[in-house]
Amino acid sequence: MDKMIQDQKGKVLITNDGATILAKLEVIHPTARMLVEISKAQDIEAGDGTTSVVVIAGALLKACQELLNKGIHPAAVSDGFNVALTKAKEVIEGMGTPVDLNDRDVLIQNCVTCLSSKVVSANSDVLAPMAVDAVMRIIEKTDTNVDLNQIKVSMKLGGTVDDSELIDGLCFTNNKVSHFAGGPTRVENAKIGLIQFCLSAPKTDLENNVVVEDYTAMDRILKEERKYIVNIIKKIVATGCNVLLIQKSILRDAVNDLALHFLAKKKIMVIKDIERDDIDFICKTVNAVPVPHVDQFTKDKLGEAKLVEEGGSGSAAKTIKVTGCPEQSKTVSILVRGSNQLVLEEAERSLHDALCVVRALVKKRFLVPGGASVEMEVSQKLQAYAREIYGNDSYCVRQFGEALELIPYTLAENAGLDPIGFVTELRNKHI
């Protein structure tokens, strides 16, 4: 069931993701904070199962309390739970069905299963193949892990979730192509330069005012500014650069109108307001080197792409796509669209969960059943194993197994079923 949450600033959030909900809670108790961190770690690593891991953790804490009340030492409880954990891993691996990464349909079906409980479940037929294809493009068949930093998810308001697309290259949504003085908005065989310096006149470190009473002095100032900018642009043009990415600056204007005018005359496409966090991904994708000073701007620092163009119509729909990047880049971009901000943010979170599912299948290439069947099977196997061992470990393993039954109990309760009768029936089927 989806929840509507409002934070202190009045921002509304609609989600059923456990990690997202817990992150919005203001908890003070250290144990509660631990549960929030567990959910956060689960979201980062697995993407899904954030609610389940909190439920299991709560059940294990209750089991610990019962064991401590019986007089069992905390160290013995910890050792016993480790024994149960080792046995549980064996049981789960024994239930697993091998998965072939070449079988695209199986991977998509697993992503659809992950997305079926989300707000955007109706769009799972679009998001699931997108997540699978994105991961498959950046890995080799022999890889045992996936670096999700090589997949950049961009959000753009406008359209529907079905309009989302996978781009083999870069996608800019909040950045602007300069149309000043008729600059180009489409460039083929692009030579891309990424600069971290400003194309504007320098300013003093301290705030001050300069009063110019003579128009000749003013004219001299403007001429010096013009000369300063022209010299920089000459060096940029000399390298053969025809697409210029300019990092956002907080000190002064990253690029002014005069510089845009000269760049447009030289048919250089300008994309401004590049975020610092995106620099690394851009460099990987187009094989460019960021340039902090104009004197270091040389031909070997330029990246490559077959096409850079601005697409869409209307201010809300315009995006900049960079395609045909070098083959060794091993990066992809996903453009997520949505009709409103709430749907857009939830679609982005759901897509992250789907990417994590594919990553999990790359790490451990087997599948296990769902619907709490794994938890019940592990529970029964642990309780049977507890009868075979002696001492404190037997008590601890039994409590660990009983704690896992809370998952099917909770699922049955949330589904409106009789939880006790359902769990009893499920237990009998696993014996």
* Active-site residue, selected from the candidate residues 43, 48, 278, 353: 353
Give the closest residue to 152 by CA, choosing from 359, 349, 332. 332
* Active-site residue, selected from the candidate residues 17, 43, 48, 278: 17
Q: Decide if 330 is inside a domain.
A: no
* Active-site residue, selected from the candidate residues 20, 43, 48, 51: 51
289-322 tens-digit pLDDT: 999 988 888 999 999 999 988 876 554 457 888 8
Residue 315: per-residue pLDDT: 45
72-113 tens-digit pLDDT: 899 999 999 999 999 999 998 888 888 888 888 888 988 888
Other Cβ atoms closer than 10 A to 182? 11
pTM: 0.80
Residue 1: per-residue pLDDT: 63
Q: Decide if 410 is inside a domain.
A: no
Q: How far apart are CA 338 and CA 155, in angstroms?
A: 8
Q: Decide if 263 is inside a domain.
A: yes
Q: Decide if 317 is inside a domain.
A: yes
Residue 396: per-residue pLDDT: 92
CA-to-CA dists, residue 42 to 30, 212, 339, angstroms: 18, 62, 29
- In the chain, the amino acid numbered 262 is F
Q: Decide if 297 is inside a domain.
A: yes
Range of the domain at 258: 169-324
Residues contacting residue 136 through CB under 8 Å, at least 6 positions apart: 101, 104, 107, 358
Q: How far apart are CA 335 and CA 174, in angstroms?
A: 12
Residue 64: per-residue pLDDT: 92
Residue 302: per-residue pLDDT: 92
Q: Decide if 414 is inside a domain.
A: no
Percent of the chain with pLDDT over 90: 16
CA-to-CA dists, residue 391 to 67, 78, 385, angstroms: 13, 14, 13
Contact between residue 37 and residue 381 where contact means Cβ atoms under 8 Å apart: no
34-73 tens-digit pLDDT: 888 888 888 887 777 788 888 899 999 999 999 999 888 9
Q: How deeply is 382 buried, as exposed, middle or buried, from its count of CB atoms within 10 A (0-12, 13-18, 19+)?
A: buried
CATH code for position 176: 3.50.7.10
Torsion of CA 31, 37, 38, 39, to 10 degrees: 120
Other Cβ atoms closer than 10 A to 177? 21
Residue 338: per-residue pLDDT: 86
- Is the per-residue pLDDT at 18 higher than 70? yes
Contact between residue 245 and residue 284 where contact means Cβ atoms under 8 Å apart: no
| Total residues found in the chain within this entry | 431
20-29, 234-243, 252-261, range with the lowest pLDDT: 20-29
- In the chain, the amino acid numbered 20 is T
**DSSP code of residue 205:** S
Place 193 in a pLDDT band, splitting at 50, 70 and 90.
Answer: very high
Please provide the average confidence, as pLDDT, over all residues in the chain.
Answer: 85
- Is the per-residue pLDDT at 264 higher than 50? yes
17 catalytic? Reply is: yes
- Is the per-residue pLDDT at 341 higher than 80? yes
Contact between residue 286 and residue 189 where contact means Cβ atoms under 8 Å apart: no
Domain count for the chain, please give it: 1
Residue 172: per-residue pLDDT: 87
51 catalytic? Reply is: yes
When computed from its CA atoms, the radius of gyration of the chain, rounded to whole angstroms, is 28
Other Cβ atoms closer than 10 A to 120? 21
Q: How far apart are CA 7 and CA 364, in angstroms?
A: 38
Q: How far apart are CA 260 and CA 233, in angstroms?
A: 10
Q: How far apart are CA 189 and CA 431, in angstroms?
A: 66
367-380 tens-digit pLDDT: 888 778 888 889 99
Percent of the chain with pLDDT over 70: 97
Contact between residue 217 and residue 340 where contact means Cβ atoms under 8 Å apart: no
Q: Are strands 3-6 and 12-15 parallel, antiparallel or unpaired?
A: antiparallel
* Active-site residue, selected from the candidate residues 15, 50, 285, 331: 50
Half-sphere exposure of 337 toward its Cβ, with a 13 Å CA cutoff?
A: 16
- In the chain, the amino acid numbered 431 is I
250-254, 287-291, 386-390, 393-397, range with the lowest pLDDT: 250-254
Dihedral sign computed on CA atoms, order 23, 24, 29, 32: negative
Q: Decide if 113 is inside a domain.
A: no
Q: Decide if 124 is inside a domain.
A: no
11-20, 77-86, 304-313, 343-352, range with the lowest pLDDT: 11-20
Residues contacting residue 74 through CB under 8 Å, at least 6 positions apart: 64, 68
Residues paired with residue 152 on neighbouring β-strands, in sequence order = 333
